Structure 1
Amino acid sequence: MGIWQFIQEQILGMKWLNEVIGFGLSALGLDVSGRIGGSIQFFLYDVVKITILLCFLIFVISYIQSFFPPERSKRILGRFHGIRANIISALLGTVTPFCSCSSIPLFIGFTSAGLPLGVTFSFLISSPMVDLGSLVLLMSIFGTKVALVYVLLGLVIAVAGGMIIEKMHMEKYVESFVLSAGSVDIESPDLTVRERLIYAKEQMAETFKKVFPYILLGVGIGAVIHNWIPESWVETVLGNRNPFGVIIATIVGIPMYADIFGTIPVAEALLAKGAQLGTVLSFMMAVTTLSLPSMIMLRKAVKPKLLGLFIAICAVGIIVVGYLFNAVQYMLI
């Protein structure tokens, strides 16, 4: 237990880094217990910590992903039927792109290849919501139990959502160009270890360039919340005294566009200010899964009725998960 706590706090959480930054800022004459000094410390600590974890995670996940190109993933999914296909699809989503806008082209490709619509939607839900990066980052901030339960419930939403769409036979609400596109079966060449490492390095650099601005924005917002927003304000809107906090957090999160790396600092600051755990996790899920830009992209591939059903399933699932986390928060943190 002591060893795991050390890993969680000092390796994943990098508490030592926070102390080093605080010591350095104090040496420069800044009061880290004040608003300005505290904001700067929060900003520098979270940016450096998330950047280090981000680059490491993207490299490792991209290396794993090199074994699962779209055509191989399609063949894997084609071997399964029923709920097993939804489960495998949701699990495959954990080793694919980090945001919903990146997942949609793969969703279109899988649907064009003739995979069942419910199976492809399980992938579309899980990919931005519960990737492996979110698991490690959540562990670094909220602890192991919260991270594991978050990922498990995210997978449940993905599997259940895909099955509901499958049972409702919504294929006629997919745009015709997607269904008629067909697919080209191109065998992936067997990559060498060196080629996989190069691929992982390139993916790390490309993803980092896209994600880093959202990290800066998310950490900046988190720093403001952490040091400038009165705790009573957050508790009033998102604390246990407001039974609609989860719904508000979900609705506020939907129009935003970010990924898990940009939303975690905001969630961390909200939790520290008195927001309930399930409420901040609902906000994270809504931002990463139902962002407005990704819904606009998805509308190009599906008709309004299917898009509305997808949003409704995800929103209801996120809200249920939020209230569930709030109910058992005392057991998790």
Structure 2
Amino acid sequence: MLLNLPERPLERLADFVVYGGLGLDPESRLGGAVHFFFYDTAKIFLLLAVMIFVIGVIRTWLPQERLRRWMGTGGITGNFIAALFGALTPFCSCSSIPIFISLLRAGVPLGVTFSFLITSPIINEYLVILMAGEFGLPITAAYVGSGLIMGTLAGAVLGRMKIGRWIEPDIAGMAAGEGAENFDSFGSRLRHGVGEAWGVIRQIWLWVLVGVAVGAFIHNYVPQEMIQRAISSTGVFSVPIAVLLGVPMYGSCAAIVPVAVVLFEKGIPLGTALAFMMAMAALSLPEAVMLRRTMQLPLIALFFGITTLAIILTGYLLNLLAAFL
């Protein structure tokens, strides 16, 4: 018998296939993991296809040189614009990666694209709405502000390093070699959008499947009670411990916010709970698996290291802020 889950088409399809067709028990870990894999895979591919298509069509009206000037503004302005763009896009850490590739193809500086990659999963409208309902507007505003600052500064730091050599050669060549193209009709613009979406998805589909599979296992086989006990027993080191525990985790924003709420209600400091949530949103093993398609391991390690440090500092700052409120 199917569960009475929210009446959303993809969830209903996942229920039908996994619980109805395969006959898996919805209360079992295996059933939950397979359902997570099927639902998240369908959701990510659908989101990627639509958003890359839309961005591909928009780019036919927006010359690459103009986009490069817009996000490649001198100083830290380009990083802030990219971080703001990331905050306005409804992507998780895995589905942000194809947009990261699209920005590279448009010639946007590498450090600026990282500002987008960091901020996009940390801040989105779904997460902000959920947070406002659970934590209130002041805390939500502090979270959004700290996320924007973190993405801007971390991307700026990465941009000052010589990291281009760690981008995979075919991705780097694709970014450098894309030239101007004339579009004489709306149909040609639509065809370009379809080609853009198909080209990116064809390159990363296997990495998406592997990444979601890793996430499905972690999501259903790592008990949350163990995470709560580990964080609550570490005292002043609770923020870095929470971040390090959050990195391997993976989940949608609908699942991330309730976890942070539970931690906060258990007496864990606010900044520590939000740092755990940031780590879950911005950094995950599935994301690392998918990033391997675009960059080499030293750059993945550097990106994770700088972002982890930024989240830890943000967690401590939010704890200080909460202490004075």
Which interval holds the TM-score relative to the shorter structure? 0.5 to 0.7
Q: Distance in 1 between matches of 2:165 and 2:250?
A: 29
1:105 and 2:65 correspond: no
The 8 Å contact of residues 77 and 88 in structure 1, kept in 2 or not, is answered as no
Percentage identity across paired residues of the two chains? 37
Residue 235 of structure 2 aligns to a residue in which SS?
coil
Q: CA deviation at 1:185?
A: 5.9
Aligned equivalent of 1:146: 139
Q: CA deviation at 1:239?
A: 4.5
Q: Distance in 2 between matches of 1:331 and 1:69?
A: 48
1:310 and 2:303 correspond: yes
The 8 Å contact of residues 90 and 126 in structure 2, kept in 1 or not, is answered as no
The 8 Å contact of residues 253 and 283 in structure 1, kept in 2 or not, is answered as yes
Residue 302 of structure 1 aligns to a residue in which SS?
coil
Pick one of 166, 170, 174 that aligns with 1:177: 170
Aligned equivalent of 1:84: 77
1:324 and 2:317 correspond: yes
Distance change >3 Å, CA 257–CA 142, structure 1 → 2: same
Q: CA deviation at 1:133?
A: 2.4
Pick one of 229, 253, 277 that aligns with 2:270: 277
The 8 Å contact of residues 109 and 183 in structure 1, kept in 2 or not, is answered as no
Give me the CA root mean square deviation.
3.5
Q: Distance in 1 between matches of 2:235 and 2:294?
A: 38
TM-score by length of 1: 0.63
1:94 and 2:87 correspond: yes
Aligned equivalent of 2:249: 256
Residue 101 of structure 1 aligns to a residue in which SS?
coil
Distance change >3 Å, CA 327–CA 112, structure 1 → 2: same
Q: Aligned runs of 1:1-333 on 2, under 5 Å? A: 71=59, 72=62, 75-76=66-67, 78-79=69-70, 80-181=73-174, 182-183=177-178, 234=228, 237-239=230-232, 242-332=235-325
Distance change >3 Å, CA 320–CA 145, structure 1 → 2: same
Distance change >3 Å, CA 247–CA 155, structure 1 → 2: same
Distance change >3 Å, CA 331–CA 66, structure 1 → 2: farther
Q: CA deviation at 1:69?
A: 6.2
Q: CA deviation at 1:180?
A: 0.9
TM-superposition CA deviations, 1:88-139 (whole Å, max 9, x none): 1111111223201100011012112221001100010011011232222211
Distance change >3 Å, CA 268–CA 304, structure 1 → 2: same
Q: Distance in 2 between matches of 1:132 and 1:272?
A: 24
Q: Distance in 2 between matches of 1:285 and 1:328?
A: 17
| Number of residue equivalences | 240
- Between 67-76 and 268-277, report the one with greater CA deviation: 67-76
Distance change >3 Å, CA 108–CA 265, structure 1 → 2: same
The 8 Å contact of residues 98 and 259 in structure 1, kept in 2 or not, is answered as no
The 8 Å contact of residues 250 and 318 in structure 1, kept in 2 or not, is answered as yes
TM-score by length of 2: 0.64
Q: CA deviation at 1:330?
A: 3.3
Q: CA deviation at 1:276?
A: 1.0
Code of the aligned partner of 1:159: T
Distance change >3 Å, CA 276–CA 321, structure 1 → 2: same
The 8 Å contact of residues 83 and 119 in structure 2, kept in 1 or not, is answered as yes
Residue 244 of structure 1 aligns to a residue in which SS?
helix
Aligned equivalent of 1:7: none
Residue 295 of structure 1 aligns to a residue in which SS?
helix
Q: Distance in 1 between matches of 2:270 and 2:63?
A: 34
Q: Distance in 2 between matches of 1:149 and 1:132?
A: 15
The 8 Å contact of residues 240 and 276 in structure 1, kept in 2 or not, is answered as no
The 8 Å contact of residues 173 and 302 in structure 1, kept in 2 or not, is answered as yes
Residue 102 of structure 1 aligns to a residue in which SS?
coil
Q: Which runs of 5+ in 2 are unaligned?
A: 1-49, 190-211
Q: CA deviation at 1:183?
A: 3.7
Residue 95 of structure 2 aligns to a residue in which SS?
helix
The 8 Å contact of residues 98 and 260 in structure 1, kept in 2 or not, is answered as no
Residue 161 of structure 1 aligns to a residue in which SS?
helix
Code of the aligned partner of 2:311: I
TM-superposition CA deviations, 1:287-325 (whole Å, max 9, x none): 111110011111211111211110011100111111111
Aligned equivalent of 1:6: none
TM-superposition CA deviations, 1:52-104 (whole Å, max 9, x none): xxxxxxxxxx99x9699662596445323321111111111112232011000
Q: Distance in 1 between matches of 2:266 and 2:152?
A: 33
